[in-house]
Amino acid sequence: MYDVYNSLDEFIDDLKTVREIEFEHNDKHYSLLYYDKIYICEYNKPETEEEYDTIEEFLNNYKIDGTSIKDLATRIKVIFH
């Protein structure tokens, strides 16, 4: 059974607190890390890595299959956090 976020704020709070989230969407597994910057990629596919300086930049610019991560935050299947 997967966890899900109830709101965008819950996703942001988890990112700030836990700093590492693995999730699945459309049968793809993603790894999300937040340290000095935000790093996200498809799991075990470093060539897909993208990096963002701020959470705001990440939320406004990162898309999966053309849909903003902001809009997907409550629909992703959380594997680890």
The CA-atom distances, in angstroms, between 24 and each of 36, 42, 49 are 24, 9, 16
Q: CB–CB of 2/76 below 8 Å?
A: no
pLDDT for res 32: 97
Is 1 a residue whose pLDDT tops 80? Answer: no
Greater pLDDT, 1 or 61: 61
pLDDT at 64: 96
What pLDDT digit, counting tens, does each position of 17-67 carry? 999 999 999 999 999 999 999 999 999 999 999 999 999 999 999 999 999
pLDDT at 66: 95
pLDDT bucket at 2, cuts 50 / 70 / 90: confident
Are 80 and 15 spatial neighbours (Cβ–Cβ below 8 Å)?
Answer: no
